[in-house]
Amino acid sequence: MRKLASDALDQLTLGATLLGTGGGGDPFIAKLMVQQAIEDFGPIDIVDLDELDDSAQLVTVAVVGAPTVIIEKVPSGREFTDAVRALASYMGRKIDAIMPVEVGGMNTLIPLAVAAELGVPCVDADGMRRAFPQIEMTTFTLGGLTSSPMSLADEKGNRVAFETTTNLMGEKLVRGSAMMLGLANALASYPMTVAQAKTAAISGSMQYCSDVGGLLRDVQRQEENAWDRFLEFTEGRIIFEGKIIDVDRRTTTGFARGTVTIEDFADPTRTMRIEIQNELLLAIEDGRPVVTPPDLICMLDFETADPITTETIAYGQRVRILGLPCADEWKRGAWLDVVGPAAFGYDVDYVPLKG
């Protein structure tokens, strides 16, 4: 068990922004919530799965809704504790610890604030170690764990709990209910025991996020060998460096889609195309897929190494594109059906970044 204090948050937030792969909501608001929670309830306990009893009850907590709504209707805090309590009461079980569902974007930090307020530890594990747009896209699903029963709550005290036959159906019900509940809601889902989590969760993802954030901070401070250390730790690659020459955004139901085209600095005949569905999902160079989901595509400002979110991508930006391999825990069962290129409607094969 270790304590998380306010001064460790900047590194974690930077890591979360990077692992958000351009989406996942603005972690800045979530960081402010965690700071306030630490101020009000004290430092937060972070535990590894090994430190808890196998029978201990876990639940994941996340904010769901629209990032643009969340920057206006900032969370109350109460919707999260309400969602967890609603689920506990529905299940008739006490919740022993909170776990993030995705370590990437603002949902990396939200569970910390919830754990502080509920007075329980937060588990250093999750089901993605990146951000994905839908809640069934988890290693939990691949491990045969169900996302239900789950509960959704708003800040006013409205709560709904439901059970579904598939995790994809759970996603649909959550999305539909969130629209009626103001699009800035708390979701408690994937109730599981520690024993179950050990079979399906990605352990140590918070630590990974914090380490990656620290290594990226070193890059930003232009410390010696910072890039080498970053790439060695993540086993990632710099896949392209150039200037954005086209941004094409499309409004479709539910998702912010788009295509970004980048031209190589030195050789204008080399271009990379990146497909967006909330996150940066697919990188193609000269018609050949280079990074495919679930591997991560991260876009950094070429000069400052700040991660760029998909909403702020603009013509003329000078960028560096990284490809980071996904967590090994993804590679099991029908993983490509759940988070491979086909799951996002892309007619290409998965191209492993690693090995």
Where does this chain bind other proteins (CB under 8 A)? 23, 28-29, 32-33, 35-37, 65-69, 71-78, 113, 133, 155-157, 175, 178-179, 182-184, 243, 245, 249-257, 278, 303, 311-312, 314-318
HSE-CB of 266 using CA atoms within 13 angstroms: 2
Query: CA-to-CA distance for 243 and 264, rounded, in angstroms?
Result: 7
Nearer to other proteins, 105 or 149 (CB): 105
Q: How far is the CB of 194 from other proteins (least distance, A)?
A: 28
How far, in Å, CA of 196 to CA of 146, rounded?
Answer: 11
Token readout for 340 is: 């491979």
Q: How far is the CB of 1 from other proteins (least distance, A)?
A: 25
67 vs 293, which CB is nearer to other proteins?
Answer: 67
C-alpha Rg value of the chain to the nearest Å: 19
CA-nearest of 336, 194, 343, 219 to 279 is 343
Nearer to other proteins, 185 or 205 (CB): 185
* Closest to other proteins by CB, 22 or 341: 22
Question: What is the nearest approach in angstroms of other proteins to the Cβ of residue 127?
Answer: 19
Smallest separation (angstroms) from other proteins to the CB of 316: 5
Closest CB to other proteins among 163 and 303? 303
Q: How far is the CB of 10 from other proteins (least distance, A)?
A: 11
**How many whole angstroms separate alpha carbon 325 and alpha carbon 293?**
9
